[in-house]
Amino acid sequence: MLSREEVEITLKGGVSALNLTVTDVFIDLPALLIELEQNRQRLEAVSDIAMLCTTVADLKQAHASGRLGYVWGQQNSLAVEDDLRHLQTLKRLGIRILQPTYNQINKLGYGAPFKGDADKGITPLGHQWIEEMTRLKLIMDLSHCGHRTASDYLAAVKVPVVISHANAYAVCPSLRNKTDDHIRAVAKTGGLIGGVMWSPAVRHDKRPTMDDFLNHIDHMIKVGGVDHVAWSSDITEGKFPTRERWEKSYGPKGYDPAITGVLGSWYTYEDRMNIDYQSLGHTPRIWDGMKKRGYSQTDIEKVMGGNWLRVMRDVWGE
């Protein structure tokens, strides 16, 4: 997501800022620091059309200058679970959004594939993580948490939190999606949930369309309110993974078969993406679809990015 071609395609889609998972999610701290520096160098190579954003003022500057603003995030706290003081270092290096866990068990809680009694919820260290994240004014993201773990975190936080990329469980019962109780709880914190284009979280019985995605947006707005719903692509722009790599990662028998193995036979390498959305360059189709469903321009702009700016301002204080 940091090549010139990828940035240019994203900008042509009318996207002026995005939250980038800046390093691999399953690595320790030394490896994370190496990847972080490598991506900083990549970003510097396209600094004429992209920039790192660590404040709301930076995001506004990126938009005004026609550059793509990157908000760096990490979808796992595995690299800091042995010493939460490292969160301060990650902040100094530019990271502004973190998740406690990514589809796995770690010292902070349980990931999305764990359901029922297998998800034992937040841990004592998870409560300490909340305290440190709050102190550092970093955004807490619960996207890949299991249902009980997400509920525990939402009950414990005292600041706005996000579910940056997940859909409505009531519309599509994927373990990666969140329940109506989660949606209401995240809204109560002043945070948001970002509807996601990733097919396994949109529909299971057949290849999803734009209407299937918008059904999630409709439901989440009905449950949580338009001030607490945003949009997320959760797709990789530019160079796509090979068939072999996809089969081992997000294919039906990949990392998390409890999430990707429950889809119909339609879910293949060729048809894995939404019929109406395979690139960030297709983003205007979302806004066109919302207009057709009767949303006002004001509400569309909230989902486009206005709600994100509010949450970032409330958490970062900048």
Q: What pLDDT, in 10s, does the model give residues 156-170?
A: 999 999 999 999 999
For residue 206, what pLDDT band results from cuts at 50, 70 and 90?
A: very high
Mean pLDDT of 251-257: 93
pLDDT at 67 over 90: yes
**Contact of 53 with 17, CB cutoff 8 Å:** yes
Q: Is 279 exposed, middle or buried (0-12, 13-18, 19+ CB in 10 A)?
A: middle
How many degrees, rounded to 5, is the angle at CA 71 between CA 68 and CA 77?
Answer: 150
| Rounded-to-integer distance, Cα 83 and Cα 10, Å | 36
CB-hemisphere CA count at 13 Å for 315?
Answer: 30
Q: What is the pLDDT of residues 10-51, one digit of tens each?
A: 999 999 999 999 999 999 999 999 999 999 999 999 999 999
SS3 state at 106: strand
Residue 2 is predicted with a pLDDT of 85
User: How many Cα atoms are found within 13 Å in the side-chain-facing hemisphere of 81?
Assistant: 21
Does residue 4 register a pLDDT over 90?
yes
Residue 263 has pLDDT above 80, yes or no: yes
**pLDDT higher than 80, residue 318:** no
Q: Is residue 162 helix, strand or coil?
A: strand
Which pLDDT band holds residue 84 (cuts at 50, 70, 90)? very high
Average pLDDT over residues 265-288: 96
Q: Is the pLDDT of residue 180 over 80?
A: yes
- Type of residue numbered 193: I
Q: How confident is the model at residue 240 (pLDDT cuts 50, 70, 90)?
A: confident
Per-residue pLDDT band for 152 (boundaries 50, 70, 90) equals very high
Q: In the structure, what pLDDT confidence band is assigned to residue 241 with cuts at 50, 70 and 90?
A: confident
**What is the pLDDT averaged over residues 274-282?**
95
Of the candidates 205, 191, 199, 201, the residue with the CA atom closest to the CA atom of residue 167: 201
Query: Whats the size of the chain, residue-wise?
Result: 318
d(CA 136, CA 94): 12
**pTM of the predicted model as reported, rounded to 2 decimal places:** 0.96
Residue 14 Ramachandran class (φ > 0 left, ψ -120 to 50 alpha, else beta): left
What's the whole-number mean pLDDT along residues 68-95? 97
pLDDT reported for residue 164:
98
Residue 248 scores a pLDDT above 90: yes
Could you give all domains of the chain from N- to C-terminal order, each with its CATH number? 160-318 (3.20.20.140)
Between CA 302 and CA 304 the distance in angstroms is 5
DSSP string, 208-221: --HHHHHHHHHHHH
Average pLDDT over every residue of 67-88 = 97
